[in-house]
Amino acid sequence: MAEEDFLQNPHETGSGAIFLVVAAGRGARAGAGGPKQYRALNGRQVLTRTLEALLAAAPQARARVVIHADDLALYEAAVAPLAGDLQAKIDPSAFGGATRQDSVRLGLEAIAAAGAPDGTLVLIHDAARPFVGPGLIARALEAAREKGAAIPGTPVTDTIKQVAGDSRIVATPERATLRAVQTPQAFRLGLILAAHRAVREDGCRELTDDAAVAEWAGHCVFVFPGDSDNIKLTTTEDFLRAEAKLPDELHVVLPDIRTGQGFDVHAFGDGGHVWLGGVKVPHDRGLVGHSDADVLLHAITDAVLGAIAEGDIGAHFPPGDPQWRGAPSEVFLRHAVQLVGAKGGRVAHIDATLICERPKVGPHRDAIRENIASIMALPLDRVAVKATTSERLGFTGRQEGIAALATATVRLP
Ligand code: MG
């Protein structure tokens, strides 16, 4: 490939840039489910996310992925969902070696063999870091252009001890001088490829990262500010935490939108409070019911069940069953939310209306919304509670009871 072809926008960047994404590992620590870089995060493969993040952040750059020879089909499945203009920036994959160090070297050799000049900036990135952001990539490009070899690092908050083989502490490094390092590690191609070749010729020693390879070869490597969001997905717990960071993606991964409605009424009886949305609201009367008679939670529960066509609250919790006598109604709602989760779905939004003359709902509205949001694990802005009177008409107007209406929006895969 001619140099002019390789440099996408030489005047914009000063030199061409390529992401070398290392995806050849087996990822045993993330448990069952295959190599972690190909596992789904909210329905999308980690490698798909990583490539999209990198290429979107640096439109002038290209990418090449180092994969395990057994993973060709997985790799193709990871690239397929990317937009056509992004796929066009991905060069053919390279097969990795026995160690990460071998895999990086083989990837660098493939980049050089394709005609990239020595001055090309290479950003070597872990496939299992999908949260890499544009700010970090801009810093990496700038640092590599200025220094030739630079890596991202974040301050260390724990005190670090150096220990001997018998666990005896031999040193306590000054914490202010320590950095926890990440990827992308950024280099000029000629520098890092020569360093990897030299390490290999010296006897294939295993170094921790690409910075260590450059250091071993005698280069100064600089640290630029990393990003605490740029986590590496290693364990199953990492995947769960990562999914919790992506609540706004539901439209991508859960496209099947369902709506359910619920309606409930409870009559006033003796008592000094009513339960509304799991909140105890003082009143000169109570509501009569087999459970705690929380008319609002019952309507919401029926709306959620309706959205997944799973019957109604009475079918799941028969009114005659003594175990539900006086039960807190959040038990019913939690069950309905779990049924949605068992289908791979999520509740996206709740809108509910209470109809009564008294008690006044307004002073309790925010507490009720917060409690419902907590029960359903929803952000507060996805729970609406409204109240109205019926203008003294009908049974609610005569203050014989409270009625509640609810609409649930549910998203399914
Ligand atoms: Mg009821």
Q: 334 alpha carbon to ligand 1 midpoint, in Å?
A: 15
Which range among 102-111, 286-295, 333-342, 382-391 shows the weakest confidence by mean pLDDT?
333-342
Q: 294 alpha carbon to ligand 1 midpoint, in Å?
A: 7
- For residue 163, CA distances in Å to 117, 160, 170, 176, 327 come to 43, 10, 5, 19, 55
Q: 319 alpha carbon to ligand 1 midpoint, in Å?
A: 9
pLDDT band at 52 (very low <50, low <70, confident <90, very high): very high
- pLDDT for residue 239: 78
Q: What is the three-class DSSP state of 252?
A: helix
- pLDDT for residue 260: 98
What sign results for the dihedral spanned by CA atoms 45, 50, 51, 52?
positive
Residue with tokens 């066009």: 88
| Burial of residue 340, with CB atoms counted within 10 A of its CB: 0-12 exposed, 13-18 middle, 19 or more buried | buried
Q: What is the three-class DSSP state of 54?
A: helix
Return the beta strands (E) in 270-316 as ranges: 273-276, 279-282, 286-287
The 10 Å Cβ neighbour count of residue 49 is 26
Q: 312 alpha carbon to ligand 1 midpoint, in Å?
A: 11
Q: 393 alpha carbon to ligand 1 midpoint, in Å?
A: 21
Q: 411 alpha carbon to ligand 1 midpoint, in Å?
A: 25
pLDDT band at 28 (very low <50, low <70, confident <90, very high): low
Q: 264 alpha carbon to ligand 1 midpoint, in Å?
A: 5
Reported as type and span, the H/E element at residue 21 is strand 17-23
> Which amino acid is located at 226 in the chain?
G
Q: 302 alpha carbon to ligand 1 midpoint, in Å?
A: 9
* pLDDT tops 70 at residue 216: yes
Q: 225 alpha carbon to ligand 1 midpoint, in Å?
A: 56
Average pLDDT over residues 1-26: 64
Q: Which residue, 216, 184, 202, 2, is CA-closest to 107? A: 184
Please name each of the domains of the chain with its CATH number: 3-244 (3.90.550.10), 254-412 (3.30.1330.50)
Q: 298 alpha carbon to ligand 1 midpoint, in Å?
A: 5
Which range among 3-12, 26-35, 243-252 shows the weakest confidence by mean pLDDT?
3-12
- Tell me what the pLDDT averaged over the chain comes to: 91
What percent of the chain has a predicted confidence (pLDDT) above 70?
92
Q: 201 alpha carbon to ligand 1 midpoint, in Å?
A: 76
φ, ψ of residue 20 to 5 degrees: the values are: -105, 105
φ, ψ of residue 274 to 5 degrees: the values are: -125, 150
* pLDDT tops 80 at residue 205: no
- pLDDT for residue 377: 81
- pLDDT for residue 12: 39
Q: 78 alpha carbon to ligand 1 midpoint, in Å?
A: 48
Q: Which residue, 57, 109, 63, 58, is CA-closest to 89? A: 63
- For residue 325, CA distances in Å to 76, 125, 285, 292 come to 56, 58, 19, 8
Q: Which residue, 263, 264, 309, is CA-closest to 291? A: 264
* pLDDT tops 80 at residue 243: no
Q: 402 alpha carbon to ligand 1 midpoint, in Å?
A: 10
Could you tell me if 170 and 90 are in contact, meaning their C-beta atoms sit under 8 angstroms apart?
A: no
Average pLDDT over residues 216-233: 95
Q: Which residue, 292, 403, 411, is CA-closest to 349? A: 411
What sign results for the dihedral spanned by CA atoms 186, 192, 195, 200?
positive
What's the pLDDT tens digit per position in 29-42? 545 567 889 988 87
pLDDT band at 248 (very low <50, low <70, confident <90, very high): low
Kindly state the tokens that stand for 55: 């290429």
Residue with tokens 């390490």: 199
pTM for the model stands at 0.63
pLDDT band at 43 (very low <50, low <70, confident <90, very high): confident
DSSP secondary-structure letter at 235?
S
Residue 52, C-beta contacts closer than 8 angstroms, at least 6 positions apart: 82, 86
Measure the CA–CA gap between 374 and 231, rounded to whole angstroms.
27
Average pLDDT over residues 267-291: 96
Measure the CA–CA gap between 180 and 193, rounded to whole angstroms.
24
Measure the CA–CA gap between 155 and 164, rounded to whole angstroms.
24
Q: 337 alpha carbon to ligand 1 midpoint, in Å?
A: 17
Average pLDDT over residues 79-106: 95
- For residue 336, CA distances in Å to 40, 300, 304, 346 come to 25, 9, 6, 11
Reported as type and span, the H/E element at residue 316 is helix 313-316
- pLDDT for residue 9: 40
Measure the CA–CA gap between 37 and 49, rounded to whole angstroms.
10
What's the pLDDT tens digit per position in 308-326? 999 999 999 988 888 888 8
Q: 289 alpha carbon to ligand 1 midpoint, in Å?
A: 7
Q: 281 alpha carbon to ligand 1 midpoint, in Å?
A: 17
Average pLDDT over residues 237-247: 74
- pLDDT for residue 15: 61
The 10 Å Cβ neighbour count of residue 400 is 12
Q: Which residue, 312, 406, 332, 315, is CA-closest to 376? A: 332
* pLDDT tops 50 at residue 2: no
Q: 296 alpha carbon to ligand 1 midpoint, in Å?
A: 8
Q: 267 alpha carbon to ligand 1 midpoint, in Å?
A: 10
φ, ψ of residue 238 to 5 degrees: the values are: -60, -40
Q: 413 alpha carbon to ligand 1 midpoint, in Å?
A: 30
* pLDDT tops 90 at residue 292: yes
Q: 284 alpha carbon to ligand 1 midpoint, in Å?
A: 20
> Which amino acid is located at 303 in the chain?
A
Q: 266 alpha carbon to ligand 1 midpoint, in Å?
A: 6
